[in-house]
């Protein structure tokens, strides 16, 4: 047997978006302000996933201004609409849609006043990058001028909205029900090299194709996928949480090994845009789903390389060597 053997494995997954087996909801306020800027108020919590950037992009597109001209208000729940928790891959789906709907209401009020001022139909108006104009004419003004004109007519272009995702409870007997409104799907391919002398497994590459609905921020989505793959690699090969009668016996991070940048292979992300028909934005989510198929793909790749099924995680060198020894013993 060659010392180092290579293999490839594939795993597919699905994941439900937003809260499970219950109604999920989120609200937001939006206002076009003096100078053509905007402010968005929502109870969203930014925990590093980039949701504030996404919300600025959503509001800017809906209002026809630049993302840098959008201010996201603080998330103190005493002063902002309910947005609920940062989890369940729900931020873009729930808060993103509520911001979009609130921004559309604010834009509708502005368009109604400017259309009346120009004596045209509101359906003829377009707005982008801080300007508003009548399609197929030379009637045009800046968003700042439009907001000033709107307020001079006694109207503040403000909007409020909520978005709801419907789910049902699960039958306690057979588990039937409709626990999520939207689903995402993904497939990952892993290539590994297994050292049959040391038992070490090195992941050489991961190819990750994920359906995320409409992609609001491509670089952000790719970052989420890469982060999920890194977590999945740690789950597959390193992170061993040991307990004894329900009590943890893993002594700190010296023994609970986490992957570093040296352990992460090249990750190729493929974004599949299958828009959600029940969402105003068409977007879904990718926070947690990117993690799901990584460890199974790596385990399948190990099997492809050495013909042994690893049935417990993580697949440490000791476990790999024990599995190879058992295989050789069975063959003998």
- Within-domain flag for 321: yes
Per the CB < 8 A criterion, the answer to whether 283 and 277 are in contact is no
Residue 188 and residue 151 share a domain: no
The predicted-structure confidence for 208-249, as pLDDT tens digits, reads as follows 999 999 999 999 999 999 999 999 999 999 999 889 999 989
Residue 115 and residue 42 share a domain: yes
Residue 315 and residue 263 share a domain: yes
Which token pair is 324? 């190879």
Per the CB < 8 A criterion, the answer to whether 203 and 298 are in contact is yes
Closest CA to 8 of 186, 185, 194: 194
Q: What range does the domain containing 70 cover?
A: 24-165
Residue 239: partners with Cβ closer than 8 Å, 6 or more residues away: 256, 257, 258, 314
Q: Which of 145, 288, 318, 328 is an active site residue?
A: 288
The residue from 165, 194, 216 where one domain ends is 165
Determine the Cα–Cα distance for residues 98 and 79; give it in Å rounded to an integer. 17
Residue 189 and residue 135 share a domain: no
- Within-domain flag for 44: yes
> Would residue 288 show up in a list of annotated catalytic residues for this protein?
yes
- Within-domain flag for 249: yes
What's this model's pTM, rounded to 2 decimal places? Answer: 0.91
- Within-domain flag for 190: yes
**What is the total count of domains within the chain?**
2
The predicted-structure confidence for 86-139, as pLDDT tens digits, reads as follows 889 999 999 999 999 999 999 999 999 999 999 999 999 999 999 999 999 999
- Within-domain flag for 173: no
Residue 184 and residue 149 share a domain: no
The predicted-structure confidence for 12-26, as pLDDT tens digits, reads as follows 999 999 999 999 999
- Within-domain flag for 174: no
pLDDT at 1: 66
- Within-domain flag for 172: no
């Amino acid at each position: 047997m060659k010392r180092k053997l290579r293999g490839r494995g594939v795993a597919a997954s699905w994941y439900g978006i937003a809260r499970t087996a219950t109604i999920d909801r989120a609200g937001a306020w939006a206002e076009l302000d003096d100078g053509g800027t905007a402010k968005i108020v929502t109870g969203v919590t930014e925990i590093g996933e980039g949701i504030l950037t996404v919300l600025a992009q959503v509001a800017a597109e809906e209002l026809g201004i630049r993302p840098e001209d959008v201010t996201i208000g603080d998330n103190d729940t005493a002063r902002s609409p309910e947005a609920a928790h940062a989890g369940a891959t729900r931020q873009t789906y729930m808060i993103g849609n509520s911001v979009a709907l609130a921004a559309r209401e604010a834009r509708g009020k502005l368009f109604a006043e400017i259309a009346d001022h120009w004596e045209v139909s509101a359906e003829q108006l377009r707005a982008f990058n801080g300007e508003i104009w009548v399609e197929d004419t030379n009637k045009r003004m800046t968003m700042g001028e439009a907001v000033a004109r709107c307020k001079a007519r006694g109207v503040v272009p403000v909007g409020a909205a909520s978005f709801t995702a419907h789910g049902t409870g699960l039958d306690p007997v057979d588990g039937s029900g409709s626990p999520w409104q939207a689903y995402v799907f993904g497939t990952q391919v892993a290539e590994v090299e297994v050292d049959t002398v040391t038992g070490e497994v090195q992941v050489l590459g991961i190819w990750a194709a994920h359906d995320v609905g409409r992609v609001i921020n491509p670089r952000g989505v790719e970052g989420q996928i890469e982060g999920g793959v890194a977590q999945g690699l740690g789950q597959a090969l390193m992170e061993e949480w040991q307990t004894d009668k329900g009590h943890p016996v893993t002594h700190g991070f010296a023994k609970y090994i986490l992957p570093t940048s040296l352990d992460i292979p090249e990750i190729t992300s493929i974004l599949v845009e299958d828009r959600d028909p029940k969402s105003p934005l068409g977007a879904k989510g990718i926070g947690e789903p990117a993690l799901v198929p990584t460890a199974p793909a790596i385990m399948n790749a190990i099997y492809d390389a050495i013909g042994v099924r690893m049935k417990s995680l993580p697949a440490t060198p000791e476990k790999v060597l024990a599995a190879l020894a058992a295989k050789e013993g069975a063959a003998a």
